[in-house]
Amino acid sequence: MKFIKSSRIEEAIRYFSRDIFLFARCGIVIQGKEIYQSVLNNPNSFTNECTCEELLTISSEAYFLKVGKELNIALE
């Protein structure tokens, strides 16, 4: 996986909580491959206008629907 790194992103980390920054990155992913590739190719186009905290729980919800039990994992 290629990681996005730019001065604008590093600046965002200083101004936003880690959670808000994580949710904004989820927002980039949920918008699809084209938007993700756009930000990957031009990290300065990254914005936190679209967030998607819910993306973080999809795997647990899918597991519950499939197996009928809670997925017990520690997230740190």
Report residue 33 CA to chain centroid gap.
13
Structure token digits, residue 41: 């190719």
Structure token digits, residue 12: 């965002």
pLDDT number for residue 8: 63
The crossing angle, in degrees rounded to 10, of helices 7-15 and 18-30 is: 130
pLDDT number for residue 1: 46
pLDDT digits (tens, 9 = 90+) for 2-23: 555 566 666 666 777 788 888 8
pLDDT number for residue 62: 92
Domain-wise residue ranges, the chain: 7-67
- In which residue are the tokens 């994580």 written? 22
pLDDT digits (tens, 9 = 90+) for 42-58: 888 887 788 888 898 89
